[in-house]
Amino acid sequence: MTETRLTSTESGAAPKHAEPNLLEVKNLVMNYELKGGEMVSAVENVSFNIPKGHSLGLVGESGCGKTSVALTLIGLQAPNARVLGGEVLLDGENLLALEKEEMRLRRWNDVSMVFQGAMNSMNPVYTVGDQIREAMDIHWDPKPTAKEAREKTEELFNLVGINPDMIDRYPHEFSGGMKQRAVIAMALSCDPKLIIADEPTTALDVIVQEQILEELRSIQDDLGMSIIYISHDIAVIAEITDLLGVMYAGKLVELGTTAEIFARPRHPYSWLLLSSTPSITGPRRVLAPLEGEPPNLLEPPTGCRFHPRCPFATEQCSAEEPELTEIKPGHSIACWNHEKVPVGLDQAEEL
Amino acid sequence: MSEKNSKTRVKVENLQKLFPISKGLFRKSTDFVYAVDDISFEIKAGESLGLVGESGCGKTTAGRILVKLDEASTGAVQIRDAETDEMVDVTEINTKDEQKEFRRNVQMIFQDPYESMNPRRTIFDIVAEPLTVQGIGTTEEREKRVVDLLHLVGLTPPEPFLFRYPHELSGGQRQRVAIARALVMEPAFVVADEPTSMLDVSIRISIMRLMLELAAELGVTYLYITHDLAVARYMCDRIAVMYLGKIVEMAPTEQLLKNPMHPYTRALLSAVPVPDPSYKRPEVEIKGGISRSINPSGECRFLARCPFAVDQCRTDPHPGLFDRGGGHLVACHLVAAEGSWTGAERAVLELRS
């Protein structure tokens, strides 16, 4: 495990730009339309790339648009969602331009997802094997034979660390961690290029969580897949991703390698988020609370959306909106005053 | 937190709680889940003890017994009454008056701020309810007290909150209301069951800080139940680690984090995600999830998952807590024999080679 950690940190410090981008998200804008016709600005001008075989983490407080971005990528946004602009290029092809039916077939084959609490989304009256087979029946072309489906499921069970004897068991016979593994097996059943994992381990105990993250890490290495991890738990993101996007109020405010952002966060929001994360390692710091609450996106603040909570805000911040700008190769932020953000975390003194 | 008052506030002795497994309506159940099995600890006044473990380890059951939401099967719980300064046996509290008196002294904060409040009552009703039940003060006095408390927990200005309903508040605000309700009686002892685990990281820190400040100001004693060791590090003076109903290790917080001795504590610590991409984690040595302890056999409760088990662990009964000094207690045969974890590990390696 130590080895994997080292490689990911190294590749994080110096991203391998040689690898082509698997996914390019360009200027994605998505609003939710409310009954009266009002628009909630849920995703505003979000752009990022993921090279093949890399993993990107999306972090932020609840309601900042992480899941909205993910759902839009795979065309599963809520009925009242309006995609107002942007492109989602997977291997150069714009997924947003696809017909609904075409997109339905691409899901699972090209992009699959593991949702938060997905372990509770299995149908209790079918065996887990049957449910994985169903996914393959719909998405494989041609349909797998019974033998092929069986072999593939056994292979997947081995891959995610479940005994293949469990294939004919029902969901209630699985523990929480095993169900989550089965859902990951299902997500892998059509050999996708990209997996979106939305809080894949949030409901699990730490020891089981660590095992599942380890499993995902090795699957990613073995199969050369790309993964988007969404989590409110920054510590989990630090463990498993090499690229990181920090979201605030529907906007991407910082984007770079995980190693770089954790070592030297440049956006005030990232800096405060990291400063307020407790850890069992290192000196016991005074944790800085992040005052206030995320804004109501019916009427997002003028200028920078973070300015009402930002300790470094100036007049410019409430008037002009900063765009995501590269401050050094592979590290971008959307902030007018990033040079004011101290090096090192807030109040890092020992108690 | 405060050193000045080192009286024992809470004393738990050989606490046990068994839940019968139902076999059907007319059959007597012979199988029991040993949710809490023979645990003992003390909490000093003003101190905060963390009860940590995976889900299903019995930490919430233990907390509920301490505030008398559940009855113990056997064992004793004594809590010092703030007014009379006498230890009160919780199992002896039966009459309504005694219960009222007890609730004045002991309160609980629940995990879920969305479910622990009556949605049809206003914030004022919710926070003032303990006062109403206890018949304390006139309506005006109660209102003043509630306003003071909302102020204390950072819901400012308090007046606009008084006549709102829980659904109008965010999660963090609701948890502040829950804390205000728990503190309105100025209890000496509060059991906090995962009070921040449903909250965003930013709000989590302000709630944690609030609870620490209140502990310092009002001298509240906490039993802080959590699965998150990083949170426990900030909230607790001491930590007790539970596994399948047993306390397997108990030590001052930093001591436990720096020098964990029980194989389970070590595994738990090595699995905690660390917000530092350059951190190199030690290998997690145990696999699988926690099960339930149904009619457990007498050996060490951790035997099935312990990578270090030796013959003694398979034959001897579950080890008692071995005191290796400085308030560091470990329930492990190996550590008891060798005196430290390094010694225990060396001994196992020698035995196996």
Is the bond preceding A308 in cis, omega lying within 30 degrees of 0?
no
Given an 8 Å threshold on Cβ–Cβ distance, is B274 in contact with A238?
A: yes
- The set of residues, in sequence order, having a beta carbon less than 8 Å from that of A135 and lying 6+ positions away, is A108, A186, A189, A190
- The verdict on a CB contact (< 8 Å) between A281 and B279 is yes
Q: Give dist(CA B161, CA B171) in Å, integer.
A: 14
Sign of CA dihedral A246, A252, A253, A257: positive
Reference B286, options A210, A268, A21; nearest CA is A210
**What ipTM does this complex have?**
0.84
Chain A, 324 to 343: residues with Cβ < 8 Å from chain B are: none
Q: Do A274 and B268 touch (CB under 8 A)?
A: no
Q: For residue A246, what are the β-bridge partners?
A: A59, A254
Residues B4-31 have pLDDT tens digits of: 457 899 999 999 999 988 777 777 778 8
For A258, nearest residue in chain B (alpha carbons): B277
Cβ–Cβ of B278/A263 closer than 8 Å?
Answer: yes
CA–CA gap between residue A322 and residue B217 (Å, rounded): 43
Provide residues of B within 8 Å CB-CB of chain A: 54-55, 170, 172, 200-206, 208-209, 227-231, 233-234, 254, 257, 267-281, 283-284, 286-290
Q: Would you report the helix, strand and coil content of chain A in percent, each value rounded to 5?
A: 40, 25, 40
CA distance A10 to chain B (A): 9
In angstroms, the Cα distances linking A7 to A14, A57, A202, A228 are 11, 17, 25, 18
A272–chain B Cβ distance below 8 A for any pair: yes
Tell me whether A274 touches chain B (CB under 8 Å). yes
Q: In the A/B pair of chains, how many CB contacts fall below 8 A?
A: 133
Decide if A61 and B269 are in contact by the 8 Å CB cutoff.
Answer: no
Interface contact B233-A290, CB threshold 8 A: no
- What CA–CA distance (Å, rounded) separates A230 from A50? 14
Q: Are strands A243-248 and A55-59 parallel, antiparallel or unpaired?
A: parallel
Annotate A124-184 with three-state secondary structure.
Answer: CCCCHHHHHHHHHHHHCCCCCCHHHHHHHHHHHHHHHCCCHHHHHCCHHHCCHHHHHHHHH
How many Cβ atoms sit within 10 Å of the Cβ of residue A350? 8
Partner-chain residue, chosen from B201, B275, B280, that has the shortest CB–CB distance to A2: B280
Q: Do B273 and A12 touch (CB under 8 A)?
A: no
CA-based nearest residue to A182, from A172, A192, A106: A172
- Minimal Cβ distance to B289: which of A175, A259, A291: A175
351 residues of chain A, pLDDT tens digit each: 333 333 333 444 444 456 789 999 999 999 999 988 899 999 999 999 999 999 999 999 888 999 999 999 988 889 999 999 999 999 999 999 999 889 988 888 899 988 877 667 788 899 999 999 998 998 888 899 999 999 999 999 988 888 888 899 998 888 888 888 899 899 999 889 999 999 888 778 888 888 888 888 888 888 889 999 999 889 999 999 999 999 999 999 999 999 999 999 999 999 999 988 899 988 887 887 787 778 888 899 999 999 999 999 999 999 999 999 999 999 999 999 999 998 877 654 444
